[in-house]
Each structure stands twice: as C-alpha cells, then as structure tokens.
Amino acid sequence: MALTHKLQSVPLRDERSLFTLVENRSVYSMDACELNIFETHQQAEGVNLQFGDWVLTSMLRGKKVMHLSEKPGFEYLPGESVIVPPNELMKIDFPEAGKESPTQCLALAISAEQISSTIQLLNERHTKAEAGEEWKVGVEHLHLANNLELADIINRMINISLNEHSREKDILVNLALRELLVRLMQTQARAFFEQNYKRLACSHRFGFIIAYIKENITSKIDVDKLSEKACMSRANFFRKFKEEFGYTPADYILKERIRLAKEYLSNPFNSVTQTCYMAGFQNLNYFIRAFKKEVGTTPKAFQLRVQV
C-alpha cells in the first residue's frame, strides 16, 4: 500500500450509550447520502454488513480484516479506504478490537442518482483522452490508499455531516459529493495505470506516457515534450492528464521520484545525497524540501525510522 493520509478523528461514543459492542452504528442522513460511523469494542469474526448503494468506507482507528466477493481477506487500516459496490456482502473480522483499543470506520452510502448525474456531467464536459472511454466508478480497484486530496474531501464530508446544521447543509453535501466522486475516480485511475501501464503502453496514450516516465525517471524529463509523445497539443495534454489522474505531469514525476527515493533510503548504506541523485533529482536542497512536503519528514528522519 502506498503512502497514506489518515483522516481526522471522530469522538468515540460513551460506552453507556452503545447499543452493541460490535459495529455500533451512528447514522447521519442527508438527501443524497448517508454517513454511518461504526464502532467495535470487542473481538469478533464474520460480521456481515451490506448496503443497497455504492459505499465509500474509510478506517478511522484500529484494524479490521475485510472479506469481499469470497476473495482472501485483507488487513484494513487507518489511512485506507474501500469502495464497496451495491449489495456487496462485506464479511469483517475484528482481531484486535477491545475496550481500550476499539475500531472505528465510516461508511458513506451515496445515492445512485448522485453518482449517475456526476458521471453524466463529467462525460459531457470533460471527455476522456481516448475515444470511447467514459468516466465510471470501477470495480477493479476497490482498496485504496488515501492521498491528500481524497483525505481532505472525506474530512470535509465528515465535518458537514456531523457539525453543519444550517438549511444549506444538503447543498453543501451535494457539492462535496461531486468532488468526492471525482477524487475517487482519479484515485482509481492512478491505481489502474500503475498496475497496467506496461500492457497499456502500446494502446493508450497515457499508458505510454506513464511507461515513459517510469523508464526515464532517473534522467531529466522535459515535461513540455510529453505532449508530443502523447500526440496531443500541449494545452489539451496537460488538461486531460490532470483530469484523469488529479495531478499535473510534473506532480506525477515528482511523486514517482519520491517513491523511488524512499526505496533507496530503505538501504542504510545509501546517503541522502546519493539518494537524491539516484532518484533523478538535480538539487539536494530541493530534494529535501520536496521529500518533507510529500512524506511529512526529512529524508534522513525517514531513513532512521525505516531502520528502526
């Protein structure tokens, strides 16, 4: 799982107000969605949960083991989200939950109408780079690491749902939901291309660009020349790349170099200076600033933490 961004904390219910110690549910209903906060205060296995709508779930604290579609279970931790299709049965284990270490997870059920109208708007106004492709919430990549943009909009949804009491609440929710859906689809697109760029390099212009960036990440990459390689005008290339992935090409290259730098720093024999140039950076001070902004700590502190 890639670098994750944890969500803001939500206060736990007082034990005396709990209806059950396993998946106690607090519900916040709005016109186009329903936010559920689940808490579990004791170990449990095989707990079933199902919704009739698409659901975005995000871990807030503790650990679950999630089972979807009869596939092997996977650990589900804070900083991660799982998109669950309508009527999908979730089977959940709570191996570490207890009174002193409860789990807490949100489940945002989104109406089909809200999803449909958002996707229709995107397909009308922001067509994909490849002819015939359309925006959609996919079923291939359901387990996601929260990036900063996704975490920010989920936090906003939490704040509106729990703390907003004005008559404009549903309007604010609907606007935030549209952004949330866009961020989710962009996050899924990045996951899809990360796993399939080699296969797509010969058939999809962005697959080719991602492959080119990865193959040349340690060299100087002329961002302005990428549009020529994609056979697109510069303006159209930059606009469509940002729409598809949520990042500019330069941002994507930076994040790839940071990812590579983290791999090098995992080796205690690589110095920060060596790592800087091996990962394709040309300036040590810029590397340290960019690394700290992206990862939240300096390269040296990261290396020491990894060694521990």
* Domain presence at residue 4: no
Same domain, 27 and 176: yes
pLDDT at 2: 55
pLDDT, one tens digit per residue, over 164-178 is 999 999 999 999 999
Tally the domains of the chain. 2
CATH classification at residue 78: 2.60.120.280
pLDDT, one tens digit per residue, over 187-225 is 999 999 999 999 999 999 999 999 999 999 999 999 989
* Domain presence at residue 68: yes
Same domain, 178 and 223: no
* Domain presence at residue 134: yes
Same domain, 94 and 149: yes
d(CA 297, CA 291): 7
Task: Give the confidence band of 44 by pLDDT, cuts at 50, 70, 90.
Answer: very high
241-to-179, 186, 271 alpha-carbon distances in Å: 17, 10, 34
User: Under a CB-based contact definition with an 8 Å cutoff, are residues 22 and 94 in contact?
Assistant: yes
What is the Cα Rg of the chain in Å?
21
Strands 103-110 and 24-29: unpaired
- Sheet of strand 143-145, all strands in order from the earlier edge strand to the far edge: 24-29, 33-40, 103-110, 54-61, 80-84, 143-145
Full domain range(s) for residue 215: 201-308
Domain boundary among 165, 192, 219: 192
Strands 90-94 and 143-145: unpaired
